[in-house]
Chains A and B, each alone.
Chain A
């Protein structure tokens, strides 16, 4: 074990692209934890999707040995937290596992909404915070302005901010020294019964579930029998170690230390983030506070384009769920799409990540239906229904009232785009709560219905602000509103996968938009196709897709037949990418594109 005074545990708080992963890479390099030869970019982000999107989904951790300028050897534990709002609970747990944070702000960009959300989590966890102004090598860098902004917007002292270029390595040494001098060592009692926090967990094909732990009190050793306090399940610790960032076995983990255990756990579901781990016998009586099981908030259907791949989809979803306790799934049958799964996610990014992983890692092309939220339906007969899927909406005449989830959204945006952002929020039924300025940037806080946000709000926000607006949200409450189910009929047949819940005042307009979009998205057929939007039995919008009139190949002589055959085969393959509804083929992208609200 390491002496508590020689340990520093910290996380890095940053907005996407502000250089968190690069800074982590440099710290790893500077302390000699990974040789130059094994160094690759974004060392801690192991999934392809993480590397490609520059985001961290799973908490990663690395233990660094550092000989400080004071001549002492220190152990530094870095937990790289997920940076996205979808994983806010996971972030909060990671934050509780460390005592300090490096707040990385891009000195060419300034503070972003996401930085705010995470830094507040750090403040909530009583962290000492070391501001790092990154990217000082760029000409657009303006450290004074950004330091002022940190003080104004976040309200922390930025006078000790360290100027860093993670790219060139400038300021890395000072950062390491600041970690030693500015962050407090962890507290803990080595004589008390074992109390450890389950920070995160993931599935490894060879080792089973790997559990990331932070020991608070007592010791964790190989061979221990440990108990998860949320469900009293007992496990036998098989391996114990630390990350450098590769796994390295150790004999034990003591107070203040961060490492991993494996214990023949089959499913990530059995390990709940935030849970308290103690010994089976003579364990602690008091669990850590703040534990809560994760709750999906966004739902959508995932269907294989090729319906014969349903079983493959099932097994891929089962495999993914082994490693992701926060995502839920149940089988769904759609008249339009056949068999698939209704899946619940922590948010939109989480949804995209899971969908991308199914498509890439398991090679199954998917139709994703419109994301939906959970509606609370109060029936006239007193029954209460949680509606996850608009297709299951009961007949309106039996419904007394409905509630939908509302969120508090915080948006930071440069002045010049503020007008458009306000309009967007207004269009999405938002209620303005706050509007303040920090320099040339406005911070707006809106009360918004989640169902207006889950779909393309973020994309729209990015596009109207040329990418400068940043956005974060938290759940507010369920609130009654006048909601209806908007149904789409293609060639007189309802396509359940295109049903959405909308506010009654906007139903007609949305219906018109969807019909217009579908008219462009569905290819012409040999007959004309009416496309209608309806509420209950009432048609509120209608478009007609004209019949196909011309597609013949002009020339076809002796030698051309070989090529023509290929064309015919290509046409056949193209049809496979579409789903047939009655006599109409609808291309897969239509299910998402039809709902987008960009004009």
Chain B
């Protein structure tokens, strides 16, 4: 019999919370610190990984993801120790994917080879833009040339390289974006994440926006046009969408991220890292202490860095699965969703949304149409209303 965790796989997320500087748009759990006791941090990661092995020891690990912060600022020794430890604990799938997020700065790039020998087989580079002025404005420390070098170096070392771009920026025209995207595509890649700039509370941009000091953001119509154009260009370049903001050559999707979107199991290690996994029939939601110092000292003092674990009810699990899977082009497995909660979405709502042309049902899967995907938040809220 297929185990519940086997439906969408099992992965491990490692969060490294430090950056060289904080970007004004970023609301991730990242911190700037010049004084990091790497030995203590390595010890902490290893001990937390062991602790979490206990509840998932029978599972087969298919992905590891080093995210942040800027995990490419981790000493390769640390990365190597973590990977070695993981491999000693779990059985892994044949195609174990180990991704590391990296910045295009020269320090990061100089370590690519070491990361590879430590076991990393995929990198995701935070290019964000190829335009120097935009990069400054986004608070990035690299320039366009650095970005190109980083991608090319990575491509010479790793088979699988992805990079991120941020668009729908202040005062960016649709022509600007088209030009930038095409030149990024000319680097040749099999995976790209294309994010529209979102202004989040608690960021520098968020504060500025609140007092009206963030002019030139695109209107809803312009950002919708940019999104549509992006799909066109990416399709023409054989990098179709597979999730709201992610494009890949078929087969080159991020397997780790697919675990999130398909409602699979993942363990989150590091400050503020979340986890979701089955323990027997129960689905658990975990989160670790958010502050890096607290996480570290808590491990020292009480033997673990986690906040109290919660058990998700079937309807909470259903809601999370719906929210995540609806982002995927492959859509939501309605049979699975109904097995969790029959009443989460009403037939009447589905019918109404089909009539509006924002969703469709195919092979018992609910899929957002190209018209519906850009208004996913409203579609979700309508589905569950």
For the complex, what is the distance from the CA of A286 to the CA of B222, rounded to whole Å?
78
**Within the complex, what minimum Cβ distance (angstroms) separates B310 from chain A?**
10
- B378 in contact with A526 (CB, 8 Å): yes
- A549 in contact with B221 (CB, 8 Å): yes
For B162-197 the 0/1 string (1 means CB < 8 A from A) is: 000000000000000000000000000000000111
Chain A residues closer than 8 Å to B376, beta-carbon distance = 551-553
A557 interfacial by beta-carbon distance below 8 Å: yes
The contact of A524 among B220, B319, B353, by CB within 8 Å, is B220
- B384 in contact with A568 (CB, 8 Å): yes
Q: Which of B73-81, B90-98, B153-161, B271-279 contacts A (4 or more CB under 8 A)?
A: B271-279
- A552 in contact with B375 (CB, 8 Å): yes
A385 interfacial by beta-carbon distance below 8 Å: no
B374 interfacial by beta-carbon distance below 8 Å: yes
The contact of A551 among B272, B375, B385, by CB within 8 Å, is B375
- B221 in contact with A526 (CB, 8 Å): no
**Within the complex, what minimum Cβ distance (angstroms) separates A544 from chain B?**
14
- A556 in contact with B374 (CB, 8 Å): no
Chain A residues closer than 8 Å to B255, beta-carbon distance = none
Contact A548-B323, Cβ < 8 Å, known A526-B382, A557-B257: no
- B385 in contact with A552 (CB, 8 Å): no
- A558 in contact with B356 (CB, 8 Å): no
For the complex, what is the distance from the CA of A555 to the CA of B197, rounded to whole Å?
10
Q: Which of A15-23, A165-173, A274-282, A559-567 contacts B (4 or more CB under 8 A)?
A: A559-567
- A526 in contact with B323 (CB, 8 Å): no
**Which residues 207-248 of B have a CB within 8 angstroms of A?**
220-221, 223-224, 227, 244-245
- A554 in contact with B266 (CB, 8 Å): no
The contact of A558 among B224, B266, B323, B384, by CB within 8 Å, is B266
Contact A555-B356, Cβ < 8 Å, known A561-B324, A564-B323, A571-B377: no
For B5-20 the 0/1 string (1 means CB < 8 A from A) is: 0000000010000000
Contact A554-B323, Cβ < 8 Å, known A549-B220, A559-B273: no
Q: Number of contact residues on B: which range applies?
A: 35 or more
**Within the complex, what minimum Cβ distance (angstroms) separates A576 from chain B?**
11
A550 interfacial by beta-carbon distance below 8 Å: yes
Chain B residues closer than 8 Å to A557, beta-carbon distance = 67, 257, 260
Chain B residues closer than 8 Å to A145, beta-carbon distance = none
- B377 in contact with A558 (CB, 8 Å): no
Contact A554-B382, Cβ < 8 Å, known A526-B358, A559-B274, A565-B320: no
Nearest chain A residue, comparing its CB with the CB of B272: A559
- A568 in contact with B323 (CB, 8 Å): yes
A479 interfacial by beta-carbon distance below 8 Å: no
- A559 in contact with B220 (CB, 8 Å): no
Chain A residues closer than 8 Å to B327, beta-carbon distance = 556
**Which residues 556-599 of A have a CB within 8 angstroms of B?**
556-559, 561-562, 564-565, 567-568, 571-572, 575
- A553 in contact with B266 (CB, 8 Å): no
A527 interfacial by beta-carbon distance below 8 Å: yes
- A553 in contact with B319 (CB, 8 Å): no
- B375 in contact with A550 (CB, 8 Å): yes
Nearest chain B residue, comparing its CB with the CB of A564: B323
Q: Interface residue count for A (Cβ, 8 Å)?
A: 25
Contact A558-B268, Cβ < 8 Å, known A551-B377, A565-B319: yes
Chain A residues closer than 8 Å to B273, beta-carbon distance = 559
> Tally of A-B residue pairs with Cβ under 8 A?
95
B32 interfacial by beta-carbon distance below 8 Å: no
Nearest chain B residue, comparing its CB with the CB of A559: B274
- B274 in contact with A552 (CB, 8 Å): no
Contact A561-B323, Cβ < 8 Å, known A549-B224, A550-B224, A554-B244: yes
Chain B residues closer than 8 Å to A548, beta-carbon distance = 220, 375, 378
Chain B residues closer than 8 Å to A567, beta-carbon distance = 377
For the complex, what is the distance from the CA of A251 to the CA of B164, rounded to whole Å?
87
- B375 in contact with A549 (CB, 8 Å): yes
- B276 in contact with A558 (CB, 8 Å): yes
- B374 in contact with A551 (CB, 8 Å): yes
**Which residues 506-560 of A have a CB within 8 angstroms of B?**
524, 526-527, 546, 548-559
Chain B residues closer than 8 Å to A552, beta-carbon distance = 244, 373-377
Contact A565-B323, Cβ < 8 Å, known A550-B220, A550-B223, A552-B376: yes
- B385 in contact with A572 (CB, 8 Å): yes
For the complex, what is the distance from the CA of A571 to the CA of B379, rounded to whole Å?
11
Nearest chain B residue, comparing its CB with the CB of A555: B195
Interface SS of A by simple majority: loop
For the complex, what is the distance from the CA of A548 to the CA of B221, rounded to whole Å?
9
Chain B residues closer than 8 Å to A553, beta-carbon distance = 198, 244, 376-377
Chain A residues closer than 8 Å to B377, beta-carbon distance = 551-553, 567-568, 571
- B378 in contact with A575 (CB, 8 Å): no
**Within the complex, what minimum Cβ distance (angstroms) separates A324 from chain B?**
40
B123 interfacial by beta-carbon distance below 8 Å: no
B287 interfacial by beta-carbon distance below 8 Å: yes
For the complex, what is the distance from the CA of A546 to the CA of B380, rounded to whole Å?
20
Contact A550-B198, Cβ < 8 Å, known A558-B274, A568-B380, A572-B385: no
For the complex, what is the distance from the CA of A554 to the CA of B220, rounded to whole Å?
14
For the complex, what is the distance from the CA of A558 to the CA of B267, rounded to whole Å?
10
B381 interfacial by beta-carbon distance below 8 Å: yes
- A558 in contact with B260 (CB, 8 Å): yes
Chain B residues closer than 8 Å to A546, beta-carbon distance = 221
Chain A residues closer than 8 Å to B197, beta-carbon distance = 554
Chain A residues closer than 8 Å to B353, beta-carbon distance = 526
For the complex, what is the distance from the CA of A524 to the CA of B221, rounded to whole Å?
11
Nearest chain A residue, comparing its CB with the CB of B380: A568
Contact A554-B268, Cβ < 8 Å, known A565-B323, A575-B385: no
For the complex, what is the distance from the CA of A565 to the CA of B313, rounded to whole Å?
14
- A558 in contact with B13 (CB, 8 Å): yes
**Which residues 138-190 of A have a CB within 8 angstroms of B?**
none
Chain B residues closer than 8 Å to A565, beta-carbon distance = 319-320, 323
- A572 in contact with B198 (CB, 8 Å): no
- B245 in contact with A555 (CB, 8 Å): yes
Nearest chain A residue, comparing its CB with the CB of B13: A558
Nearest chain A residue, comparing its CB with the CB of B223: A550
**Within the complex, what minimum Cβ distance (angstroms) separates B200 from chain A?**
10
For B290-320 the 0/1 string (1 means CB < 8 A from A) is: 0000000000000000000000000000011
Chain B residues closer than 8 Å to A561, beta-carbon distance = 260, 274, 276, 320, 323-324
**Within the complex, what minimum Cβ distance (angstroms) separates A491 from chain B?**
13
**Within the complex, what minimum Cβ distance (angstroms) separates A559 from chain B?**
4
Chain B residues closer than 8 Å to A549, beta-carbon distance = 220-221, 224, 374-375
**Within the complex, what minimum Cβ distance (angstroms) separates B313 from chain A?**
13
Chain A residues closer than 8 Å to B380, beta-carbon distance = 568
For the complex, what is the distance from the CA of A180 to the CA of B299, rounded to whole Å?
82
For the complex, what is the distance from the CA of A552 to the CA of B380, rounded to whole Å?
10
| Given A556-B244, A575-B385, 20 additional A-B pairs, CB 8 A | A526-B379, A549-B224, A550-B223, A550-B224, A551-B376, A551-B377, A551-B378, A552-B374, A554-B195, A554-B198, A554-B245, A555-B195, A555-B198, A556-B327, A557-B67, A559-B272, A561-B324, A565-B319, A567-B377, A571-B381
Residues of B near any A CB (own CB < 8 A): 13, 67, 195-198, 220-221, 223-224, 227, 244-245, 257, 260, 266, 268, 272-276, 285, 287, 319-320, 323-324, 327, 353, 356, 358, 373-382, 384-385
Residues of A near any B CB (own CB < 8 A): 524, 526-527, 546, 548-559, 561-562, 564-565, 567-568, 571-572, 575
What are 17 pairs between A and B in contact, CB < 8 Å?
A: A524-B220, A526-B378, A549-B375, A550-B227, A551-B375, A552-B373, A552-B374, A552-B377, A553-B198, A554-B245, A557-B260, A558-B13, A558-B268, A558-B276, A559-B273, A561-B324, A571-B377
Q: Which 10 A-B pairs have the closest CB atoms?
A: A549-B224, A559-B274, A550-B224, A552-B376, A554-B195, A550-B374, A558-B260, A551-B377, A571-B381, A554-B196
